[in-house]
A and B are shown apart, each in its own frame.
Chain A
């Protein structure tokens, strides 16, 4: 059995990660030089799709290899889900989960299977930074690592760390903001006003304000890169980095008016569901780039694979490694069509299916099927009807999934 570290970064867009910059933009300074350096030693997946566009809808994929609405919409983690922590624990690894996101806290039933679990819900936070920051998370990791490796203990572990630093409200410190835009000067109060008046209201008409929000977001990305560097150094100092497989991904991205909205609502465009994913497993696989369209529910089976433990039947995904044996297939996702801060009572599901460059999104509210050919229309601005065999095929795959939890 081998150590595995899973680092998930909330709200991190794939295109915010330097090594993912699209052709023609390489001269833009990377926001994430450290993550880029890890990518150089890893397999970088360009086609990783989250099963949901916001935390509650995406983490079922990342931690349980299942879909958000498999058992209907539930606030608590359904008992039917098998968490990767439970699988690892049963196989004999020590498990630890360290994060600050309320949706995946013990209160909502996500504590299962973790020997050590810190969800920060007891801590006091501010309005400007309503979570525990990466440096404090890292200190918790350091303490835990110290305890785990004490006395020369080399028992294998599965450690999951989650950073919230990129999540709104975006209130970066001056130094990180200056790296992104030295001309932009906003007080924390002004940043909170932007958060309340523009982001929470989902108002995209003032393009300058949206651009400011985006600059603040990018500043936070720079900061989370530094936290990632700190984490890897911790692992190196503890002497475990070389033997540890390291997986980095994000649960979803963030919208900056690409489709008339902000933040991360119930939509399936690429800015939300196409996420960064790096797998560094030096003893098991070489570095490289994979463009295969894959799902984040393949991550739990992958974690089993690199840890060297059996993959349970309850996991719906399959291991991404070894890469040449991964069978590409359609990727699915689902969420409630919430928009804005307030979840409406009448939210209904929305779903997507992607295979290769073809993607179909179904919205129950309008009973509308939209097809996108991402090779021709990567910005997803030209929705098409189900007028080609490719789209019809995806529609046929997606139909049986609609409201399937009501059928038994």
Chain B
């Protein structure tokens, strides 16, 4: 960290990128208002940068922070949880922890344990019907498509509905994978059966993976220690693997290796292929 050097020219480039993000954030907060906005924060490097930028804008504009939420999928790295707790305290953030407790209860929080659909509450059962999941049970593990949907999507939709959130700030980037290349800063999400209409805002779309690390070091932002030992991307514990064990994330060949290569295949990639093959 002491040896991470950023040239003056690079600092100027990054300042421009930060300014663009702040413009997006400022306009969105003006349009939707902080009370009706929420920011998802995973503790990963992208969402921490995203949160910091939003916080900067709020301080500059004298606005209260939007809702800051994190989703506990039941399989978190302790290092990430520690970071979330520590940073909420340091940055005076009231972090709202969302969790689909019903699912955890149905399998006694056991990873790999079986969840019987009949044991779940009405909303969870509806969500499973929505993704056309018809089996009577599923294992509680990261590879379980049904489990993943319930742990990730349901708590978020419920929060949006209950707090009447109209704007959701997310930390996605164009260079995360090719399917994102046409994403825009604001995307209107239509109302679904179980989630109301809302707008998704992506303030750091134009940041590359390298930009995120450089900005993190330039502004001395905190990051999870797992990145130091080789993790490039941090999802749930059981399916995130260090890409180059022992080599810090920022020292890896970011331009030529795949950031999410240590994670299980993205749903989006598979879906895009299926669509091109005429299946969707």
Which A residues lie at the B interface, using CB under 8 A? 71-76, 78-79, 102-103, 105-109, 119, 121-122, 124-125, 127, 130-131, 167-169, 195, 199-200, 263, 341-343, 345, 405-406
Bound-state CA distance A406–B267 (Å) is: 28
Is residue B264 contacting chain A, with contact meaning CB distance below 8 A? yes
| Nearest chain B residue, comparing its CB with the CB of A346 | B132
Contact between B135 and A341, CB atoms less than 8 A apart: no
Contact between A119 and B265, CB atoms less than 8 A apart: yes
Contact between B264 and A107, CB atoms less than 8 A apart: yes
* Given A105-B270, A121-B265, A122-B269, CB of A72 within 8 Å of CB of B277: no
Bound-state CA distance A119–B261 (Å) is: 12
Name the B residues within 8 Å of A341 (CB-CB).
278-280
Contact of B144 among A76, A102, A119, A121 (CB under 8 A): A76
Contact of A107 among B134, B258, B267, B277 (CB under 8 A): B267
Contact between B264 and A106, CB atoms less than 8 A apart: yes
* Given A119-B265, A122-B258, CB of A130 within 8 Å of CB of B276: yes
Bound-state CA distance A119–B133 (Å) is: 24
Contact between B136 and A106, CB atoms less than 8 A apart: no
17 further A-B pairs in the complex, CB-CB below 8 A; given A107-B265, A131-B277, A341-B280:
A72-B135, A72-B136, A75-B133, A76-B144, A76-B145, A102-B269, A107-B267, A107-B270, A121-B270, A122-B258, A122-B261, A124-B178, A130-B276, A195-B278, A199-B278, A343-B279, A405-B135
Contact between B136 and A345, CB atoms less than 8 A apart: no
Contact between B276 and A125, CB atoms less than 8 A apart: yes
| Nearest chain A residue, comparing its CB with the CB of B141 | A79
Bound-state CA distance A168–B269 (Å) is: 18
* Given A102-B277, A122-B261, CB of A108 within 8 Å of CB of B136: no
Contact between B265 and A106, CB atoms less than 8 A apart: yes
Bound-state CA distance A74–B143 (Å) is: 12
| Nearest chain B residue, comparing its CB with the CB of A77 | B143
Q: Tell me which residues from 229 to 276 in chain B have a Cβ below 8 Å from any Cβ of chain A.
A: 258, 261, 264-267, 269-271, 273-274, 276
Q: Tell me which residues from 117 to 143 in chain B have a Cβ below 8 Å from any Cβ of chain A.
A: 131-136, 139, 143
Name the A residues within 8 Å of B273 (CB-CB).
102, 121, 125, 130-131
Pick 13 A–B contacts, CB within 8 A, sort by A.
Answer: A71-B135, A72-B135, A73-B132, A73-B135, A75-B132, A75-B133, A78-B135, A105-B270, A107-B265, A107-B267, A121-B266, A341-B280, A405-B135
Name the A residues within 8 Å of B131 (CB-CB).
75
Bound-state CA distance A342–B274 (Å) is: 11
Contact of B135 among A74, A130, A167, A345 (CB under 8 A): A74
Q: How far is the CB of B252 from chain A (nearest CB, A)?
A: 16
Contact of A105 among B139, B258, B265 (CB under 8 A): B265
Bound-state CA distance A71–B132 (Å) is: 14
* Given A75-B145, A107-B269, CB of A130 within 8 Å of CB of B264: no
Name the B residues within 8 Å of A124 (CB-CB).
178
Q: How far is the CB of A320 from chain B (nearest CB, A)?
A: 30
Name the A residues within 8 Å of B266 (CB-CB).
107, 121
Name the B residues within 8 Å of A199 (CB-CB).
278
Q: How far is the CB of A248 from chain B (nearest CB, A)?
A: 22
Q: What 4 A-B pairs have minimum CB-CB distances, sorted nearest first?
A: A130-B276, A107-B265, A72-B135, A102-B273
Which B residues lie at the A interface, using CB under 8 A? 131-136, 139, 143-146, 178, 258, 261, 264-267, 269-271, 273-274, 276-280
| Nearest chain A residue, comparing its CB with the CB of B147 | A76
Bound-state CA distance A40–B43 (Å) is: 61
Contact between B134 and A76, CB atoms less than 8 A apart: no
Contact between A79 and B264, CB atoms less than 8 A apart: no
Bound-state CA distance A1–B267 (Å) is: 38
| Nearest chain A residue, comparing its CB with the CB of B130 | A345
Bound-state CA distance A289–B156 (Å) is: 59
Contact of A168 among B132, B274, B278 (CB under 8 A): B278
Q: How far is the CB of A135 from chain B (nearest CB, A)?
A: 19
Name the B residues within 8 Å of A405 (CB-CB).
135
Name the A residues within 8 Å of B144 (CB-CB).
76
* Given A75-B145, A107-B265, A121-B265, CB of A102 within 8 Å of CB of B274: yes
| Nearest chain A residue, comparing its CB with the CB of B114 | A79
Most chain A Cβ neighbours within 10 Å, of B267, B271, B277:
B277
Bound-state CA distance A107–B279 (Å) is: 16
Contact between A74 and B133, CB atoms less than 8 A apart: yes
Name the B residues within 8 Å of A121 (CB-CB).
265-266, 269-270, 273
Bound-state CA distance A72–B135 (Å) is: 5
Contact between B270 and A169, CB atoms less than 8 A apart: no
Bound-state CA distance A406–B277 (Å) is: 32
Bound-state CA distance A127–B273 (Å) is: 9
Q: How far is the CB of A55 from chain B (nearest CB, A)?
A: 9
Contact between B265 and A200, CB atoms less than 8 A apart: no
Bound-state CA distance A240–B54 (Å) is: 60
Name the A residues within 8 Å of B276 (CB-CB).
125, 127, 130
Name the A residues within 8 Å of B280 (CB-CB).
341-343
Name the A residues within 8 Å of B270 (CB-CB).
102, 105, 107-108, 121
Q: How far is the CB of B100 from chain A (nearest CB, A)?
A: 18
Name the A residues within 8 Å of B135 (CB-CB).
71-74, 78, 405
Name the B residues within 8 Å of A74 (CB-CB).
133-135, 145
| Nearest chain B residue, comparing its CB with the CB of A71 | B135
* Given A75-B145, A79-B139, A109-B143, CB of A200 within 8 Å of CB of B278: yes
Contact between B279 and A73, CB atoms less than 8 A apart: no
Bound-state CA distance A408–B146 (Å) is: 21
Q: How far is the CB of B151 from chain A (nearest CB, A)?
A: 15
Q: How far is the CB of B61 from chain A (nearest CB, A)?
A: 40
Bound-state CA distance A105–B270 (Å) is: 8
Contact between A167 and B277, CB atoms less than 8 A apart: yes
Name the A residues within 8 Å of B269 (CB-CB).
102, 107, 121-122
Name the B residues within 8 Å of A343 (CB-CB).
132, 279-280
Name the B residues within 8 Å of A263 (CB-CB).
278
Bound-state CA distance A130–B279 (Å) is: 12
| Nearest chain B residue, comparing its CB with the CB of A347 | B132
| Nearest chain B residue, comparing its CB with the CB of A405 | B135
Name the A residues within 8 Å of B258 (CB-CB).
122
Name the B residues within 8 Å of A168 (CB-CB).
277-278
Name the A residues within 8 Å of B133 (CB-CB).
74-75
Bound-state CA distance A76–B265 (Å) is: 13
